[in-house]
Structure 1
Amino acid sequence: MNKQELFDKFIEFMGRFAEIRAVAALRDGFIMTTPFTICGSVFLLLANLPIPGYAEFMAGIFGPEWTAPLNAVSGATFSVLAFIAVLAITYKYVEAEGCDAIMASILALSTFLIVLPPTVTATGGAVVDNIIPKAWAGSNGVITAILVSFVVSWVFCYCEKNHIGIKMPPAVPGGVAKAFEALTPGMVLFTLGAAVYGLCHFLGATTFPELIFKIVQTPLQGLSDTLIGGSIIAALQSILFWAGIHGPNVVGGVVNPILIANSLDNQHIIDMGMQLAGNPDAKIITCQINDVFIKSGGCGLTIGLLLASWLSAKSSQMKSITKLASVPGLFNINEPIIFGLPIVFNPYLLVPFILVPLLALIITYASIAIGFMNPFSAVQVPWTTPPIIAGLLLNGWQGAVVQIIIIAMSTAVYFPFVRAQDKAMLAEEQGEGSDGKQHDDSEESGEPALHH
């Protein structure tokens, strides 16, 4: 098997992987969590603006507890992320199967609550009963929430599709009938949840979320929080997008829960009154690095491509697509350049499209490792926030400087490849092929010259 066949097999596998019901539900479910995390980030950012003297100024106006209302909002979003995820993932999975998504989501939430720890240990050692622990309703419970969502979705859809449940007479209102139909899967799921709780409690003196966190989530977070792990994420996103598969969606559906958990762990360090800078427990690879620094201007850091094109383009085709794609690119929307140039299956741009995000990761990782930037907390910015502004909001002037360096790097790397692409387009417009000979008008398609 040659390299091309191996690459084709890989792309085919990833395409099929993206179509798996559980993967699609995971991806779409976490997309549904975006409004909560962004809104929570706004209030968290207002409580922690990276401006010297800001905290003292606000405390002088509103008193020493001025952040309490702002932190209450972030606590009701980030600290219950697992709750939101279990509802959203189940809903998307069951909806795609054509079953009762609302009822399944409610059952998933109840099942998740069954397996949660029922107590917390307060300061001083006192044990408090009958509570919902935010420690496991947030980032620490994300993997458990995903597993519960998948199990509940499968059981619920199996019961509904195979008509396993209590059937009511046709005269009974639809809402009432659906409620009774959910009794059977509800009993199955609650019994399963109780059995899991009992096994963990009596055999291991633990709970299911604690067990999953120890044997699954902690190792996954550790693997993601390395330069190698970040490089795999960055490279896969670009490779798949170049091959026509929406790489950020496919890869993000799998890794976003882990990267979000990394940033929430950092936020927990801050909440404990400790600093992230120089803290060995702080995570470097977080969702902000992927969204803001690796993908400035869109996947592949195509803002550098656009700048290189503005500096060098001579062909009408390159100039036109650059003008069309520049404004969306400022807001990190690069589909016009991905599919309009196109970048998809374009051999001229494969190397920089993969290389530039990897170099951006190295620059960002090094900036945090040497202490120039702080690791990122739970604060996020809307994904459409323009580059440099996003870095400024997340990490002060240092974040803006790092983004400027990354954009300059991306422009320099893209420049020779854009020149080659532009030269091919210009030759086509002048009626010349790659061999320099004139071609008939019937052979001129007006499309960008792509050589496979």
Structure 2
Amino acid sequence: MKSLLNNFQNSLGKLSIAFNKNIYINAIKDGMLAYMPFTVITSVFLIIGNFPIPQVNKWLASLFNLSVLEWQNRLGIVNDASLGVGGLLVLIAVSRNLADKMKINGMQVTLTSLVSFLAITPYNKNKGLNFLDVSTIGAQSIFLAIIVAILVCIIYRWIDKKGIKIKMPDSVPPAVSSPFESLIPSFVVISIFWILRILLDTFVKQSALSLINIILGTPLKAMGGSLIGIIVVKIFGQLLWFFGIHGDSIVNGVMTPIFQVLQDENKNASLAGKIVPNIISQSFWDGFASIGVIGSIFAIVIIAKSKQYKQMKKIAAIPYLFNIGEPTLFGIPLMLNVSYFIPLVFSNTVSIIVSYLAFYWHLVPLPTGLVQVPWTTPIVISGYLVTGSVSGSILQLICFILVVLIWIPFVKIEDNNIYKKENKQQNG
């Protein structure tokens, strides 16, 4: 058994190293992390503009002598300026991160990515004029933005390594020489994307955005947006944690773009007064699928009698109210502790299934997508904010109680063993 666990740990360790060394996955992860604060900032404005109590909305609008609709539109400007161009933000963040990891000119690569992305983005035609439709560079274009950023960096680096560039004398300041040296690489990259745009328009009759969302986006959303898919992803992440590998950093690097696209679809539907389409989104992942390990420390708070666990509850309980689990994971410890393998790996699954069914059966309103709270927001508060309903908080409480009940028998066994050892040592 020990040999099997060691082999499994080694295999997962190699997988983790491969993920952590992969500059493309890390660039996507870091790029999405750079994008995330804007989702929270936008949520603040959308909460104010779409407060769940109508009287509050009317009162706030009256302060500025506006109708409720005008008030909501004014606050929606921040959404249009941030998440409304979400694909553009992700493109800039990923291309800059990847350029830095490749050690090529970050500024010029970022600008080249921007031009290439806009060159391949579909335009709308009106009265013989072409104009950029802002909706084509929103969160729905995240997949295309990531692909463009990666391709631009790869092509740019290849040209740069070949030395195909205008070389300026050493006496020329870098601020002047750098843009000139990027002329040829940038020209080639932009030309490639322009040619690709022409070919798609001429022969395929579909935009790159449509193709990417059909070929790549549809299956990814189907996988990440399904009950089975999210259970498999969460179990895999928790399995990595068991073997001492930061599961969230690996899983989130792949899944966050998918969850963000699903979140944006919910937000757009909510703003348009339509039915929210997706049960699973970033809000579901952060606010409901994450309820699992918290049960361990609060099981300890309830039943611990050993000195070790009594000390643990003083250290780890408060941080976990804000979803900071490292003191619990390392302090109990849960990693590589076979006694806790089952609840560590599978307790989140219970929260996922219960929450999914509650949303599916319309017992709780679906997360609107209007609000994306920081991951440190305590449960109950986050449940109310993302669903706009007290029933969201109640659902989180039910999941919390269930995972605590799951953890209690495992904690009790381990706590008794530690208690006996402490008594034995004390009595000599």
**TM-score, shorter chain, exceeding 0.5:** yes
The yes-or-no answer on 1:45 pairing with 2:47 is: yes
Which residue is 1:24 aligned to? 26
Indicate the SS of the match to 1:348.
helix
The offset of 1:397, in angstroms, is: 0.1
Identify, as 1 or 2, the structure richer in helix.
2
Which residue is 1:444 aligned to? none
Which residue is 2:118 aligned to? 113
Which residue is 1:83 aligned to? 88
Amino acid of the residue matched to residue 398 of structure 1? S
C-alpha offsets along residues 26-84 of structure 1, whole Å, 9 cap, x if unaligned? 11110011111110111112122223543344445532311112111111111111111
Distance 1:319 1:70 in 2: 48
Kindly indicate whether the alpha-carbon contact (under 8 Å) linking 1:166 and 1:180 is maintained by their aligned counterparts in 2.
yes
The yes-or-no answer on 1:63 pairing with 2:67 is: yes
Distance 2:132 2:314 in 1: 53
Kindly indicate whether the alpha-carbon contact (under 8 Å) linking 2:109 and 2:153 is maintained by their aligned counterparts in 1.
yes
Which residue is 2:395 aligned to? 402
Which residue is 2:288 aligned to? 293
Which residue is 2:38 aligned to? 36
The offset of 1:428, in angstroms, is: 3.5
Distance 2:184 2:244 in 1: 43
- Map 1:174-253 to 2 at 5 A: 174-253=174-253
Structure 2 length normalisation: TM-score?
0.93
Which residue is 2:418 aligned to? 425
Which residue is 1:447 aligned to? none
C-alpha offsets along residues 210-246 of structure 1, whole Å, 9 cap, x if unaligned? 1111221122212222110111121122111222221
The offset of 1:158, in angstroms, is: 3.0
Kindly indicate whether the alpha-carbon contact (under 8 Å) linking 2:58 and 2:67 is maintained by their aligned counterparts in 1.
no
Kindly indicate whether the alpha-carbon contact (under 8 Å) linking 1:119 and 1:127 is maintained by their aligned counterparts in 2.
no
Distance 1:79 1:207 in 2: 19
The offset of 1:128, in angstroms, is: 7.5
Aligned-pair identity in percent equals 28
The offset of 1:149, in angstroms, is: 1.0
The yes-or-no answer on 1:94 pairing with 2:99 is: yes
Residues 397, 317 of structure 1: alpha-carbon distance in 2 compared, 3 angstrom cutoff? same
Q: Which moved more, 1:400-409 or 1:205-214?
A: 205-214
Amino acid of the residue matched to residue 158 of structure 2? Y
Indicate the SS of the match to 2:339.
coil
The offset of 1:372, in angstroms, is: 1.6
Q: Which moved more, 1:215-224 or 1:77-86?
A: 215-224
Kindly indicate whether the alpha-carbon contact (under 8 Å) linking 1:119 and 1:128 is maintained by their aligned counterparts in 2.
no
Structure 1 length normalisation: TM-score?
0.88
RMSD (CA atoms): 2.1
Distance 2:221 2:418 in 1: 45
- 1:325 corresponds, among 297, 302, 316, to 316
Indicate the SS of the match to 1:131.
strand
Paired residues in the alignment total 420
Residues 424, 40 of structure 1: alpha-carbon distance in 2 compared, 3 angstrom cutoff? same
Which residue is 1:416 aligned to? 409
The offset of 1:374, in angstroms, is: 2.1
Amino acid of the residue matched to residue 33 of structure 2? I
Distance 1:310 1:356 in 2: 18
- Map 1:265-414 to 2 at 5 A: 265-276=265-276, 282-296=277-291, 301-378=292-369, 379-395=371-387, 396-414=389-407
Kindly indicate whether the alpha-carbon contact (under 8 Å) linking 1:264 and 1:377 is maintained by their aligned counterparts in 2.
no
Indicate the SS of the match to 2:51.
coil
Distance 1:56 1:356 in 2: 43
Q: Which runs of 5+ in 1 are unaligned?
A: 121-125, 277-281, 433-437, 440-452
The offset of 1:424, in angstroms, is: 2.9
Distance 1:377 1:164 in 2: 50
The offset of 1:7, in angstroms, is: 5.6
Indicate the SS of the match to 2:261.
helix
Distance 1:184 1:106 in 2: 14
Kindly indicate whether the alpha-carbon contact (under 8 Å) linking 2:46 and 2:75 is maintained by their aligned counterparts in 1.
yes
The offset of 1:161, in angstroms, is: 4.1
Distance 1:59 1:128 in 2: 40
Distance 2:127 2:43 in 1: 31
Indicate the SS of the match to 2:313.
helix
Indicate the SS of the match to 1:430.
helix
Residues 71, 429 of structure 1: alpha-carbon distance in 2 compared, 3 angstrom cutoff? same
Residues 100, 339 of structure 1: alpha-carbon distance in 2 compared, 3 angstrom cutoff? farther
Kindly indicate whether the alpha-carbon contact (under 8 Å) linking 2:293 and 2:348 is maintained by their aligned counterparts in 1.
no
Distance 1:188 1:248 in 2: 38
C-alpha offsets along residues 117-151 of structure 1, whole Å, 9 cap, x if unaligned? 0116xxxxx56743322222112211100101111
C-alpha offsets along residues 262-312 of structure 1, whole Å, 9 cap, x if unaligned? 111112222333133xxxxx011101111111224xxxx322111100111
Distance 1:325 1:100 in 2: 44
Distance 1:16 1:384 in 2: 28
Distance 1:117 1:73 in 2: 24
Q: Which runs of 5+ in 2 are unaligned?
A: none
